Amino acid sequence: MKVELTRLDDDFHLKAANEDGLTVETDGSPSIGGHNKALRPMQMLLASLGSCSAIDVIHLLRKQRQELRDIKVTVTGERDTTKTPSPFTAIHVHYTLYGNIADNKAERAVSMSMEKLCSVKIMLEKAAEITWSWEKAD
């Protein structure tokens, strides 16, 4: 696996590309001279956690033949702002599942992802407490 970053401006706006040419951009905080043109790296970590787990949950619910119409994942993180660098100390992942899904199947999919399958969660839990919750919506 390889990702290459290139600079897009004279400040902190960067583009990362993988071997397939797929890209994502990042930028620095305006407080250090960034221009708010893209997610910041720590926000990307939260997005990576949410998308990794969402992929697991979608896959597991499909395997269980549940009618998942949509999924929304909200990831919030708390950082230790008294330190530099300021790592995450706590992260919460909340899933909102839309569709005709049995509660026990939803619980199983979310807990399987967060306890056994999501590689990003397994890495981040070494640095921060990670909790999760879920709900069904219409």
pLDDT at 138: 80
Domain that holds residue 84: 41-137
- 60 neighbors 99 (Cβ within 8 angstroms): no
pTM of the model: 0.94
CB-count burial class (<10 Å; 0-12, 13-18, 19+) for 19: exposed
Domain count, the chain: 2
Same domain, 78 and 132: yes
Same domain, 26 and 77: no
Same domain, 26 and 48: no
Q: Is the dihedral of CA 76, 46, 132, 89 positive or negative?
A: negative
Same domain, 60 and 16: no
Same domain, 117 and 80: yes
Here the CATH number for the domain that contains residue 84 is 3.30.300.20
Query: pLDDT tens digits for 56-83?
Result: 999 999 999 999 999 999 999 999 999 9
